[in-house]
Amino acid sequence: MKYSKYTARKPDDTGFIHYPNEEHETWKILYNRQMEILPGRACDEFIEGLELLELSADNIPQLPDISNALAKVTGWGVAQVPALISFDRFFRLLADCQFPVATFIRTREELDYLEEPDIFHEIFGHCPLLTNPAFASLTQTFGKVGVGASKEERVYLARLYWFTVEFGLLGGSGKHRQGRRIYGGGILSSYKETLSCLGSEPVHQPFEVNRVLRTPYRINIVQPVYFVINALSDLQVLGESDLISLVREAMKQPMYEPLFKALD
């Protein structure tokens, strides 16, 4: 497992995590600048989820509060984890409707990008949509399928997770929108990605599961390609499909050419 330079903060005997003021200020910076640019870009369901979780700029939220709010609507919760965990633990937590949250926040030097997910990415980026039954259902399915998958199959599952849960876009029309909106947590928690993803430069592909499973990605760049679903209910349908069979079929076929430069 890759070594992390961050150390997760531990709760006291009451379950409360005491973050220093500087880290609350970092949360405030991240929160406020996302809230400035997400209206008109984030999907309705994300905004509704933010309201249900009662997130604010003032303080880094406490995990029991998030778990209690999620439990009321979809039965989910969050689990405190170290900065990095194994795939086995990751999938088992998702299968049990527990979203892993590393209890550290990025430094000011890494406001725009860090390779490992911090509490802002996990709580702000992902947890609001865990109030949505379709999104929550697919996330649990990833866990259930991932627990029994081989190492090679997990690579393909990770790719599907990347292009949906992390970097998915929503098309069609909704209650308060016309055109494309963001539902992926990797975008919603990233200032640069939020501004880039709906522009003319990246490629927007209609979501087709076989193509998604065979499309390369890199974690350390603004994404050059996004896949667009019609509605969040499509995620429910995807989660009810035989994912492992779809993965095994894709494994028999060649990968698509990447839309990014190869690493040296």
pLDDT per residue rounded down to tens, the chain (264 residues): 556 788 899 999 998 999 999 999 999 999 999 999 999 999 999 999 999 999 999 999 999 999 999 999 999 999 999 878 999 999 999 999 999 999 999 999 999 888 889 999 999 999 999 999 999 999 999 999 999 999 999 999 999 999 999 999 999 654 444 589 999 999 999 999 999 999 999 999 999 999 999 999 999 899 999 999 999 999 999 999 999 999 999 999 999 999 887 655
Q: Which residues pair with 77 in a beta bridge?
A: 98
18 is in an annotated binding site: no
CA separation for the pair 171, 128 (Å, rounded): 19
Q: What's residue 177's pLDDT?
A: 42
Tell me whether residue 55 is exposed, middle or buried, using C-beta atoms within 10 angstroms of its C-beta: 0 to 12, 13 to 18, 19 or more: buried
> What is the 8-class DSSP label of residue 176?
T
126 is in an annotated binding site: yes
Q: What is the distance of C-alpha 57 from the center of its chain?
A: 20
Q: What's residue 145's pLDDT?
A: 98
CA separation for the pair 142, 221 (Å, rounded): 24
Which residues contact residue 118 at a Cβ distance below 8 angstroms, ignoring those fewer than 6 apart?
Answer: 6, 102, 104, 105, 106
Q: What's residue 3's pLDDT?
A: 66
Q: What's residue 178's pLDDT?
A: 55
Which residue stretches of 38-79 are H helix?
44-53, 63-73
Pairing between β-strand 169-170 and β-strand 181-182 as defined by DSSP bridges: antiparallel
CA separation for the pair 168, 44 (Å, rounded): 14
Q: Is the dihedral of CA 60, 182, 251, 142 positive or negative?
A: positive
Tell me whether residue 251 is exposed, middle or buried, using C-beta atoms within 10 angstroms of its C-beta: 0 to 12, 13 to 18, 19 or more: middle
Q: What is the dihedral of CA 181, 183, 185, 190, to 10 degrees?
A: 0
Fold of 21-251: Phenylalanine Hydroxylase (1.10.800)
Boundaries of every domain in the chain: 21-251
Cβ(8)–Cβ(80) below 8 Å: yes
Crossing angle for the helix pair 133-148 and 151-161, to the nearest 10 degrees:
160
Q: How many CB atoms lie within 10 A of CB 178?
A: 8
Q: Which residues pair with 101 in a beta bridge?
A: 80
**Whole-prediction pTM:** 0.94
Q: Which of 231, 141, 143 is nearest to 183 (CA)?
A: 231
